[in-house]
Amino acid sequence: MTTHHDQELSELKDKLLTMASLTEEAITQAVKALVDRDDEVGRKVKASDDAIDRLELEIDEMAIVLLSKAPLARDLRFIVVAMKISQNLERVGDEATSIAKRAIKLNREPQLKPYVDVPRMAELALSMIKDGLDAFITRDAAKARAVLPRDEEVNAMHKQLQRELVSYMLEAPPNISRCLHLMQVAKRIERIADHATNIAEEVVYLHEGRDIRHLKAQGADD
């Protein structure tokens, strides 16, 4: 039997999924704006960020109304987790916008180097977001946990790219401004992976009721 209450929870879930698909699309398009040197695509990313922001507000509003009905156990965890996921997605949207802006600036100058690492890194970060949200839908805590180690891979790629860009800067001062833009792009992607990690941790909490955040920092990693 689907109750009125179940239906309201499912509306919240649907809204979160809409937000997630817009956010994933924003990442894809932001990287496309860079790789294809397409300003028009970059401008669309900025526009789509408004829709993502609006959804964050709508999700919070729905969640607050649902919390006022004093849900418990899984329902309670679901609503709190939905709010946290939406907050992370909103930040991911901001990162995508920031990448798009840098792409538009980079498009005004000749391409510094072939973009290989940036799209790879972005693809990995995007897969982390996607898998975290899949795990949210399919109630698959193991899949959410599998997202977590990939953050280290993204971090390693980020460091490597930084080193490479530093060497470009040392080679020729005219490279510096483009390198700085690219460094920012890499940093934004690295942050997207951090948000994906947060989302995956929330999904584990939703399905298992266990809070696995900051376990490494506390030296209690299991």
Partner 1 sequence: MATLSNVTLSAESIAAMPAAIEARDVKLYYGASQALKGITMTMREKLVTAFIGPSGCGKSTFLRCFNRMNDLIDNVRITGRIEIDGQDIYSKDIDVIELRKRVGMVFQKSNPFPKSIYDNVAYGCRLQGIKNKSDLDDIVEQSLRGAAIWDEVKDRLQSSALGLSGGQQQRLCIARAIAIKPEILLMDEPASALDPIATAKIEELIVELKKDFTIVIVTHNMQQAARISDQTAFFYLGELIEFDTTKKIFTNPAKQQTEDYVTGRFG
Query: Which of 68-76, 135-143, 150-158, 193-201 is the region at the interface with partner 1 (rule: CB under 8 A)?
Result: 68-76
Q: Which is nearer to partner 1, 73 or 110 (CB)?
A: 73
Nearest-approach distance from CB 68 to partner 1, in angstroms:
11
Helix residue ranges, H only, the chain: 4-35, 39-68, 73-106, 117-138, 141-147, 150-171, 176-208
Contact 62, 15 (CB under 8 A): yes
Give the one residue of 65, 76, 156, 172 binding partner 1; rule: CB under 8 A: 76
Nearer to partner 1, 6 or 171 (CB): 6
CB of 208 to partner 1, least distance (A): 8
Applying CB under 8 A, what is the total number of residues that bind partner 1? 11
Instruction: Return the closest-CA partner of residue 210 out of 131, 134, 142, 127.
Output: 142
Amino acid in position 196: A
Does 75 bind partner 1 (CB under 8 A)? Our answer is: yes
Alpha-carbon distance values, 65 to 69, 86, 91, 218 (Å): 7, 16, 23, 35
Binding footprint of partner 1 on the chain (CB under 8 A) = 3, 5, 70-77, 209
